[in-house]
Amino acid sequence: MVKIGVLALQGAVREHFQQLNMLGCDAVAVKTVEDLKGIHGLILPGGESTTMRKLLDRYCLLEPIQMLEKQGLPMFGTCAGLILLAKEVVGYDEPHLGVMDVLVERNSFGRQIDSFEVKLPIPEIGGDIPAVFIRAPHIVKVGENVEVLALHEDRIVLARDRHLLGCSFHPELTEDVRILQYFVNMVHESTKTSLAKLHTI
Kindly list the distances between the CA atom of residue 167 and the CA atoms of 4, 31, 134, 145, 193, in Å, as whole numbers in the listed order.
18, 22, 12, 16, 25
Nearer to ligand GLN, 87 or 188 (CB): 87
The yes-or-no answer on residue 25 being catalytic is no
CA distances from 109 to 33, 122, 132, 136, 165 (A): 34, 20, 12, 6, 20
Q: Is 72 left (phi over 0), alpha (psi -120 to 50) or beta?
A: left
**Residue 107 C-beta: closest distance to ligand GLN, Å:** 5
172 as an active site residue: the answer is yes
Whether 28 contacts 35, CB under 8 Å = yes
The yes-or-no answer on residue 79 being catalytic is: yes
The binder of ligand GLN chosen from 16, 40, 106, 138 (CB under 6 A): 106
| Binding-residue pattern over the window 40 to 79 for ligand GLN, x denoting contact by CB under 6 A | ------xxxx-----------------------------x
Report if residue 32 touches ligand GLN, rule: CB under 6 A: no
CB 157, min distance to ligand GLN, A: 12
According to the binding rule CB under 6 A, does residue 152 interact with ligand GLN?
A: no
Helices (H) and strands (E) in the chain, counts: 5, 12
46 vs 166 by CB, closer to ligand GLN: 46
Contact 72, 196 (CB under 8 A): yes
Residue 185 sits in the site that holds ligand GLN (CB under 6 A): no
Binding site residue list? 47-49, 106, 134-135
